[in-house]
Structures are given as C-alpha cells and as structure tokens.
Amino acid sequence: MAIATDSTQPLTTADGTPLRQSLRRAERLNKLRAFGLVAPLFLFILVFFVFPIAKLASVSVDNSIVPEILPNTVEAIQDWDGTDLPPEPVWEAMAADLVEGKKNRNIAKVGKRLNFEKPGFRRLLIKSARKADKLEAPYKESLIKANKKWADPEFWNVLKRESGSYTFSYILAAVDMTYSDDGSLTMVDDDNAVYLDIFGRTLFISAQVTLTCLLLGFPIAYLLSTLPAKTGNMLMIFVLLPFWISLLVRTTAWIVLLQDQGVINSALIGLGIIDEPLALIRNRVGVVVAMTHILLPFMILPLYSVMKGINPSLMRAAKSMGANPAIAFWRVYTPLTVPGIGAGGLLVFIISIGYYITPALVGGPKDIMASQLIDVQMNQQLNWNMASAIGVVLLAITLVLFAIYNRLVGIDRMKMG
C-alpha cells in the first residue's frame, strides 16, 4: 500500500530547518571562507599596489598649493575674461595675499610652483612680497611700481589657468607639451624637449635587452628542457644563482669587468687582440650587457616551463614525415614556445623600462632612462609632482604595450611557469 505524501510540504533538514534556507546559509559560509582565504592577498595588493598608484596619479595633477596660498587672488581672478590686465579687485586680492604670504613665509612655495609654468614668477612674487606692507590703493599702480613684470598679462593668464586645485601641466610637460599664450596646447621648443627623447631611449634600451635575453635564453632553456632531470636540475641552480646575490653587487662586478683597466680589456690587451682599451662602460654597451645578465633568468624560466611541456614525439613525427631537423624545429617546435617567449619578453621588457641602479652605474650621459629622470626630479629638483607625472606616463606606456601584446599574442596564452 502506497503512503501518501503532501507535495506542498517544504523539504527540511534533520533539525527542522527548511532545506532551501540551509543551502543558502551553507553557500554564504563557503563564500565567507573563500573571501577569508583571499583577503590577505587582496589587502596586500590594495595597500602596496593600488593605493600607491592612486597616490601617484593624484600627486601628478595636484595643484592645491596655489589656492591655499593665494586664496583671495584665485577667487577674484575667476571673473576676469583674460584680456588686457585684470580689474582692480584682482590687484587688491593679490596685495592681500602677498601680505599674508610674507607673514606666513610661504610665498616662495607658490612662487616655485608658478615658476614651473612661467620663468620669473618666483622672483616676482618674492620681491613683491617684500614690499607688500607698503602697497596701497590703487593696487594696480602700486604693484606695477613695485615690479614692472606685473604689467605683463602673461603672468596673470598663467595664474588664472593654474588657479584650480588640479592641473594637467605636469603630465603635459612630461610629454614635452605646454600651453601657448592663447591657452592652446603646443609642443615645447626643441632646446627644452627632453622627456620624449628619454622615453624613446628607455623603450629602445628595453627592447635591446629583451632581444638579447631572448637570443641567449632560448638555447639555454632548450638545453635545460632536453637534458635528463638530474643534470637539468643541477644546471638550473646556476640560472637561479644570481637571485642569491645583491643587484648592486652584480652591477658593481660588471664595473670591475668592463672598465678600461678591467679584466676584459686587460685580457684582450695581454693576448694582443687589441692595442687600446675598448669603451665598454659608461655607454650603451655596458648598460645592455649588465642588464642582460641581471634579467636573463626572467627570460629563461618562462621559456623552460613551456619547453618542458612540449611533447618530444612531435619533433620525431615531423622528421618521420620528411622534414629535416632545422625545418622541424622552426615550423613545429618554435611556434609551441610562443607563450614562453611572450611571457619572458613581456616580463623582461616591463622590468627594463623601470630599471634604475644598473643604468645609473654603468651608463653614460646618453643612456639616461626614465627612472633616472624621476630620481632627478625627486632628489635634486624636489619636484614630486613632476616625478609623479613621469611615473604616470611610464605606467601609461606600459599599459599600452601590455594591451598591444594582448591584442597580438593574447594574455591567455602567456605562461609564467
């Protein structure tokens, strides 16, 4: 006899809880556990990657110093149409800000900021601030009498343009662009155009290092992948050995090797191959050689990982079908290594773009890279805004190259290990 059941009765667990509710609760617990596992990594990425990049971007456009030190002028100049000289209220506001700036001793800071846009602005503000207590209405005549540069509308146009809390002047300067007198964008003079040349040089040196690492790393990775496991693992130690030595020590070792009285030149002269020392340091040769040695493992490891997974029977099959070893290697084996080539090339290239220590020690004046330019702006010019702008441009170049790589090769085919 069949037992009748009520199909409308909800299914429950042993403790009487509805099954659907219990499943939802279990699913929430699983999600919380999963989030707990990834939370440390997420926080690490957020604190050490996302936040610094966001801070870098904000500093590159920060212009808060102008409205903070010249608040009255910034407010009054907004109503000026930019033609001729400003009306009297703007001059009065400037006089009040000069008095306050002299009292707080911070007028030089805003002068330094505006001097970046218009040479002579710093001296103009400092000299005028010294006479600020003697200024009286009409303030236009008083300020022009204190310094004739106030009669130049270009100073006021610059002040109006840079009166906001944010500015793109630093980023424009990082790509050798500036504002013209009418406010439109224009390229700087050839004598002052340095940043694009340095970015181009950085990319070219990085490409040289990447290509050299590929030419040297490919046969090494192939050898390691085809040797017996015991021998291959032993040789892999020599590939990883440089990671155990300080970067500074390795770079200094190349200085000893490449200098005029170094080991290489001394050996070549002793063997009678050359009569005079070769120029191997403080030039492009030294930079490429030293960077290649340091970054070579980053090319070998991805290549080795991909090559180790290639089935050897594919080469034997190609040879059995009539292909000679060279054709079989080029048309069968090499295409299978493209993910490793892409991963190693991208890794070496991106690291090379931001390299600092090695080019600074073994390079010459014609081998300055973008990272050295950032160091100059931070430690010598004390211009953190410009340093951040250069960093933002460098980051943008890296992202563009990454997008091109993804378009041509595909990021899903990249294998790091």
Query: How confident is the model over 267-312, as pLDDT tens digits?
Result: 989 888 888 888 888 899 999 999 999 999 999 999 999 998 888 8
Gap between the Cα atoms of 175 and 187, Å rounded: 9
State the pLDDT confidence band at 416, using cuts at 50, 70 and 90.
Answer: low
What's phi and psi for 167, nearest 5 deg? -150, 150
User: How large is the average pLDDT for residues 310-328?
Assistant: 83
Count the Cβ atoms, other than its own, within 10 Å of residue 393.
Answer: 20
Residue 44 vs residue 14, higher pLDDT: 44
> Residue 343 corresponds to which tokens in the numbers above?
């991963």
Give the residue among 158, 90, 92 at the shortest CA–CA distance from 124.
Answer: 158
Whether the Cβ atoms of residue 351 and residue 341 lie closer than 8 Å to each other: no
**C-beta of residue 273 within 8 angstroms of C-beta of residue 254:** no
The mean pLDDT of 28-55, rounded to a whole number, is 88
What is the pLDDT averaged over residues 23-46? 86
What are the percentages of helix, strand and coil residues in the chain, rounded to 5? Answer: 70, 0, 25
Contact 176, 195 (CB under 8 A): yes
Query: Percentage of the chain with pLDDT > 90?
Result: 43
> CB 29: neighbour CB atoms within 10 A?
10
- Measure the CA–CA gap between 347 and 32, rounded to whole angstroms: 34
Examine the pLDDT at 36 and tell me if it is beyond 70: yes
* Tens digit of each residue's pLDDT (9 = 90 or more) over 117-139: 889 999 999 999 998 888 888 89
Nearest by Cα to 64 from 10, 29, 109: 109
Give per-residue pLDDT as tens, 172-184: 999 989 888 777 8
- pLDDT mean across residues, the chain: 87
pLDDT at 5 over 60: no
Q: Spell 256-284 as b/e; 16+ CB within 10 A means b.
A: ebbbeebebbeeeeeeeeeeebeebbbbb
Return d(Cα 346, Cα 356) in angstroms, integer. 18
Examine the pLDDT at 90 and tell me if it is beyond 70: yes
Give pLDDT tens digits for 227-271.
888 888 888 888 888 888 888 899 999 999 999 888 898 998 988
Confidence of residue 3 (pLDDT cuts 50, 70, 90): very low
Measured CA to CA, the distance from residue 98 to residue 296 in angstroms comes to 58
